[in-house]
Amino acid sequence: MKVLVLGAGNVGKAAAWDLRDEFDVYVGDLSEDRLRAVSEFATPVKVDASSFGDLVEVMRGFELVIDALPGRFGYSAIKAAIKAGTDMVDVSYMRENPLELREEAENALVTVIFDAGFAPGLSHILMGRIWQELDELDEGYIYVGGLPKEPKPPLYYRITWSPKDLIEEYTRPARVIRNGEVGAIDPLSEIRKVEIENLTFEAFPSDGLRSLLESVRAKKLEEWTLRWPGHLEKMRVLKELGFFKPEHLDKTLEVITPLMTYDSPDFSIMLVRGRGSLNGQAVEIEYLLYDEERDGFTSMARLTGFTAAIIARLVAEQNCIYGVIPPEILGMRIDTFERIMGELEERGIKPRREESAPSGNS
């Protein structure tokens, strides 16, 4: 089967590498330097993702596409896949709601699984499993971060993905469920201290719940993104001063991106916790995941790219129905959940599950 990975950055490179022995893998990008970096295990193809017509034409030559482009291209890439009649796995973290394209995909007999990376993606799969295991979910929390092991001032963060998508986390209103109602809050308006595995982080509410807002019923449901202490207050000041406005963002990134570009191994950490009832008893179920950079891939690239590649295999094997499918459905199904967990474990990625009486801490 011919598979096209759109985007030759860290995530796209990891996905292509993971698929290289089982599929005829091509990688599309505009950057010749990035394409050269993947040429040892994939066929490079020059692709202009900003041209809808070009995307459709290129996709028609493939049976499956993995979209690892920046979020601003995500929605149009899905529309292009539907028009081309090509299945897609997407990790772009687009602003738009891809579920709006569900009917179009069904009519075209196309399968699209979106948000199929780390977070959103694996976070949704784990929350979907918790939702399925409990009789009723009262509260659900996702805490997630990808961070340098050796943070450097002044921003204490290392960029391992799209800089513009990073800033999007600080500007896009974070949708949450509180008191059973969906609401949106300024992501930098609430900053709290979080301790996980003897590590202390700052956390802010982020707009990562997305499809979970529709597919999971709960009184409270929130995602919090983790950063090292000292980072978020600086981001809040920059935002308040207008440096993240569209007309200023490119200049802002010229200044701050070098401050977040340095050598340091990265790690990823995620805690997915659900509280509810099972057989009349109060129960708390949580999955804890910790991963580090290895084998030439950042941890963020491993978790995002490898998860997307595993889900791509499910789509290639026609294990998924036609339409636009959120990743939590794969967690709700025990067969796909166990398949994904098993393949992640083969790559050294194993979430730890614990079940207990509720502790009372969010």
The predicted pLDDT at position 357 comes to 86
Averaged over successive runs of 10 residues, the pLDDT of the chain (362 residues) comes to 96 97 97 95 96 96 96 95 98 92 97 97 98 97 96 93 88 96 96 95 96 95 97 96 96 96 94 96 97 93 97 94 96 97 97 88 71
Q: Give the pLDDT of residue 131.
A: 97
What does the pLDDT read at residue 162?
81
User: How many whole angstroms separate alpha carbon 282 and alpha carbon 297?
Assistant: 40
Q: What are phi and psi of 190, to 5 degrees?
A: -130, 110
* pLDDT of 165: 84
Q: Dmax of the chain from CA atoms?
A: 59
Q: What is the pLDDT of residue 360?
A: 66
Amino acid at 86: T
In angstroms, rounded to a whole number, what is the distance separating the alpha carbons of residues 179 and 220?
6
Q: Which helix (H) or strand (E) holds 151?
A: none
- What pTM was estimated for this model as a whole? 0.94
- Cα distance from N-terminal residue to C-terminal residue, the chain: 45
Q: Are 119 and 161 in contact (CB under 8 A)?
A: no
Q: Are 307 and 291 in contact (CB under 8 A)?
A: no
DSSP state of 121: B
How open is the CA angle 172-175-178, to the nearest 5 degrees? 150
Rounded to the nearest 5 degrees, what angle is found at the Cα of 133, between the Cα atoms of 132 and 138? 80
Distance, CA of 221 to CA of 213 (rounded, Å) = 8
Backbone angles phi, psi at 254, to 5 degrees: -60, -35
Tell the residue number behind the tokens 């090292």, with chain if given.
228
Measured CA to CA, the distance from residue 114 to residue 121 in angstroms comes to 8
Query: 361: part of which helix (H) or strand (E)?
Result: none
Residue with tokens 């474990």: 345
| 258 contact partners, CB below 8 Å, separation of at least 6 | none
- Spatial neighbors of 329 by CB under 8 A, at least 6 apart, are 128, 215
